[in-house]
Amino acid sequence: MIDDFSENGLLAQTIQGFVAREPQQNMARKISESIKNQTSLVVEAGTGTGKTFAYLVPALRSDKKVIISTGSKNLQEQLFSKDLPIIKKALDFTGKISLLKGRANYLCLERLYHQYAAAGDLDKGLRVDLARVKNWSIKTKDGDISKCTTVTEDNAIWPILTSTNDSCLGSDCEHYNDCYVVKARKRAMNADIVVVNHHLFLADVVVKDTGFGELIPKAEVMIFDEAHQLPDLACHYFGQQLTSRQLFDLAKEINLTYRTEVKDMSQLQQCADKLQKCTQDLRLAINQQAPKGNLRFLFNQESVKKEIAYLYDTLNFCHEVLLLAVGRSSALDNCFDRVNQYKMLLDRLTETHVTGFSYWYETSFNHFVFALTPLSVSDKFTELLTERKGSWIFTSATLSVNNQLDYFTQRLGLTNADSLILESPFDYLHQTIMCVPRYMPSPNEHGIAEKLVELLLPVIEANNGRCFFLCTSYAMMNALAKRFRELTALPVLVQGETSKVKLLEQFINSGNALLIATSSFWEGIDVRGDTLSCVIIDKLPFTSPDDPLIKARMEDCQLQGGDAFNDVQLPEAVITLKQGVGRLIRHHDDRGAIIICDNRLVMRPYGAIFLNSLPPSPRTRDLNKVIDFLLAKH
């Protein structure tokens, strides 16, 4: 199989521009062994290793059922429509490949017909969109909403027309045989290779889907790309949440069923209205508090306490009314189950004394989330690996801290997994320069944004833009954007002013832009060539200790005799910084500068851990040397 990757191997013969790489061969060999021996494997593969092909070839050669899970829907689409067809053709693979998304990506026929029956409830704009979706529903074969060309994917009509785990009627639904989710699952059951994403995989493990078991079929090989995201995501999925959206949806569903199916029970309208009002009042009370924080504190506020008591009463009232309607409508039976589920959830969320969990809330202008999140998922994950025998493979460009994989493996309980760290084949010594500038203000100094602009504008202008400025907060991003726009004629693009996809298009097309962004641009962005040749990071990306989950993990770590800073905050920050720095060099011909505006990198003892975890770029503290490097011809 290694011959596939050699200089005159199968891939070199069939894929134009394929270059044999030793790290890729090593990774493919190790994965083949893991599949053959049914063991777990953790691989950090530096950028440029070619990790996608390194796991796809052994997967397609294995003659086993394989689930491949990616970090996002975009990556999932890329794998399915771009990478897999290339390898399939090269290996002359004749098996079936299937793409499976979460249920929110498929049109729900039950909800479509329900909404149509009560279309008067929608405002004019949504009624137009509903008619467009109805026309599309006649033509679509798979019900995948991303393929509906007449209504955009972020349109407000979709949450109304797609189902959730809560609202799905499963095999009781009269449209069960035509259901797009059921059809997608059947395709996945019959496929040899199934491409999913982490959100769907974890949701599926946690919620055995109502009516027809889990969506994802059992497999002998599980491969997780972008695996660094798994521990945090798993914590969220193994936790529990009650949101205003769930409560509003329930109220709407009760009302809709009253209007279309059980028209003789006016109490249904009463309890739906009461639930909606009660949720709105609770939201208003929470909006008086900080936008996110600890549930223990929130539930002790008198105004919130009062509204929570009303919510209890309202859910009890809904329970009594729906009890009278049991058996009259599948939709109402489902609502009855949900009322009971939300009552139990609310009970559990108010038990904030139970240890081992973080209790937190988040609120925005029109939405709130109450959540409890386990501080460790290692037990759950170990259980999962024991229950589902086979080969489990985890890979990413950013798993190690200080050249050790312990932080990742401990969080997922992968104590017996084999491991491999592969250096990037890129020539960082010649392709890059890294600078921690002298005369930097300290990270939390007043007016730091103005000082950063003053220091860095000469570098950005000398480089003719072509720069990402990655920030650790929205406040910094907005302050920098305002100041840069006052001082430079270069195009300044800012995250949030348009969609991520459009922003990247604008950045690439302009060829001389400065893009200022925060969290979502630190990873998963691939800009190759001269368009991007400078990445600036405002400061070391330590998560705020006020973040409820990090705070709880730190407290728990201390209780267990650990060092909260070294065991929790530091490794998290190292992995995030590696992600940000990784935006710069995406190809053998790329070249550029990394500037990290934080003196702690060179002044504090822990700075060495960050530096040891980053690619081996030559270092300087002189911004003029950075300008010389950027202006030098390769």
Nearest to 282 by CA among 341, 361, 351, 166: 361
Task: Please tell me the distance from the alpha carbon of residue 373 to that of residue 601, in angstroms, as a whole number.
Answer: 32
Determine, yes or no, domain membership for 272.
yes
Output the average pLDDT for the chain: 90
Nearest to 224 by CA among 191, 204, 189, 197: 197
Amino acid type, 373? T
Q: What pLDDT, on the 0 to 100 scale, is given for residue 120?
A: 63
The whole-number average pLDDT for the span 318-325 is 92
* Poorest-pLDDT segment among 248-252, 280-284, 348-352, 522-526: 522-526
CA atoms within 13 A on the CB side of 475: 4
Determine, yes or no, domain membership for 388.
yes
In DSSP notation, 541-604 reads -PPPTTSHHHHHHHHHHHHTT--HIIIIIHHHHHHHHHHHHTTS--STT--EEEEE--THHHHS
Q: What pLDDT, on the 0 to 100 scale, is given for residue 209?
A: 41
Q: 352 and 287 in one domain?
A: yes
Amino acid type, 304? V
Domain boundary among 361, 393, 422: 422
- Axis crossing angle, helix 448-462 with helix 474-487, rounded to the nearest 10: 50
Asked if 481 and 494 touch (Cβ cutoff 8 Å), the reply is yes
CA atoms within 13 A on the CB side of 523: 17
Asked if 170 and 213 touch (Cβ cutoff 8 Å), the reply is no
Query: How many C-beta atoms surround the C-beta of residue 43 within 10 A?
Result: 27
Asked if 67 and 219 touch (Cβ cutoff 8 Å), the reply is yes
CA 305 to each of CA 281, 298, 299: distance values in angstroms, whole numbers, following the listed order: 12, 8, 6
pLDDT tens digit sequence for 187-239: 999 999 999 999 889 888 876 544 445 678 889 999 999 999 999 999 888 88
Q: 416 and 297 in one domain?
A: no
Output the six-digit token pair for 488: 């430079």
The yes-or-no verdict on residue 282 having pLDDT over 90 is yes
Q: DSSP state, 512?
A: S
* Poorest-pLDDT segment among 93-107, 159-173, 364-378: 159-173
pLDDT tens digit sequence for 59-68: 999 999 999 9
CA 169 to each of CA 319, 337, 544, 627: distance values in angstroms, whole numbers, following the listed order: 18, 11, 41, 62
pLDDT tens digit sequence for 486-516: 999 999 999 988 888 889 999 999 999 999 9
The residue range of the domain holding 451 is: 428-631
Determine, yes or no, domain membership for 187.
no
- Longest CA span, the chain: 80
Residue with tokens 């997922």: 412
Nearest to 99 by CA among 128, 124, 127, 67: 67
CATH of the domain at 341: 1.10.275
Task: Please tell me the distance from the alpha carbon of residue 477 to that of residue 455, in angstroms, as a whole number.
Answer: 16
pLDDT tens digit sequence for 579-592: 999 999 988 889 99
Task: Please tell me the distance from the alpha carbon of residue 545 to that of residue 551, in angstroms, as a whole number.
Answer: 5
Q: 201 and 175 in one domain?
A: no
Q: 341 and 471 in one domain?
A: no
Task: Please tell me the distance from the alpha carbon of residue 279 to that of residue 328, in angstroms, as a whole number.
Answer: 27
Q: 451 and 329 in one domain?
A: no
How does 542-562 read in b/e, with b if 16+ C-beta sit within 10 Å?
bbeeebbbbbbbbebbeeeee
Task: Please tell me the distance from the alpha carbon of residue 577 to that of residue 591, in angstroms, as a whole number.
Answer: 19
Task: Please tell me the distance from the alpha carbon of residue 98 to that of residue 142, in angstroms, as a whole number.
Answer: 12
Query: How many C-beta atoms surround the C-beta of residue 480 within 10 A?
Result: 24
Find the angle CA(85)-CA(499)-CA(199) to the nearest 5 degrees.
55
Task: Please tell me the distance from the alpha carbon of residue 295 to that of residue 620, in angstroms, as a whole number.
Answer: 46
Task: Please tell me the distance from the alpha carbon of residue 434 to that of residue 592, in angstroms, as a whole number.
Answer: 9
Domain boundary among 358, 388, 422: 422
The whole-number average pLDDT for the span 297-321 is 93
More confident residue, 124 or 87: 87
Dihedral pair phi/psi, residue 418, rounded to 5°? -70, 160
Q: DSSP state, 99?
A: E
β-strand 592-596 against 619-620: which pairing, if any? unpaired
Determine, yes or no, domain membership for 608.
yes
The yes-or-no verdict on residue 279 having pLDDT over 90 is yes
Determine, yes or no, domain membership for 412.
yes
Give SS3 for 147. helix
pLDDT tens digit sequence for 418-431: 999 999 999 999 99
Q: 387 and 275 in one domain?
A: no
CATH of the domain at 42: 3.40.50.300
β-strand 391-396 against 221-224: which pairing, if any? parallel
Determine, yes or no, domain membership for 348.
yes
How does 405-441 read in b/e, with b if 16+ C-beta sit within 10 Å?
bebbbebbbbeebebbebebbbebeebbbbbbbeebb
CA atoms within 13 A on the CB side of 550: 16
Domain boundary among 422, 456, 490: 422
Q: 558 and 477 in one domain?
A: yes
Number of domains in the chain: 4
Q: 343 and 300 in one domain?
A: yes
Residue with tokens 């508090």: 289
pLDDT tens digit sequence for 584-621: 998 888 999 999 999 999 999 999 999 999 999 999 99
| % of the chain with per-residue pLDDT over 90 | 60
pLDDT tens digit sequence for 515-554: 999 988 998 888 888 899 999 999 999 988 777 778 888 8
Asked if 452 and 477 touch (Cβ cutoff 8 Å), the reply is no
Amino acid type, 540? L
CA quadruple 27, 30, 32, 33: dihedral, nearest 10: 180
Dihedral pair phi/psi, residue 420, rounded to 5°? -155, 130
Asked if 357 and 351 touch (Cβ cutoff 8 Å), the reply is no
CA quadruple 508, 511, 517, 523: dihedral, nearest 10: 50
pLDDT tens digit sequence for 354-385: 888 889 998 988 899 999 999 889 998 998 88
Listing from the earlier edge strand, what are the strands of the sheet with 40-45?
97-99, 193-197, 66-70, 221-224, 391-396, 40-45, 418-422
Give SS3 for 299. coil
Determine, yes or no, domain membership for 227.
yes
Dihedral pair phi/psi, residue 101, rounded to 5°? -110, 170
Q: 290 and 266 in one domain?
A: yes
Q: What pLDDT, on the 0 to 100 scale, is given for residue 453?
A: 95
The yes-or-no verdict on residue 163 having pLDDT over 90 is no
Determine, yes or no, domain membership for 184.
no
pLDDT-derived band at 407, boundaries 50, 70, 90: very high
Q: 585 and 487 in one domain?
A: yes
Q: 163 and 145 in one domain?
A: yes
Q: 582 and 495 in one domain?
A: yes
Q: What pLDDT, on the 0 to 100 scale, is given for residue 211?
A: 42
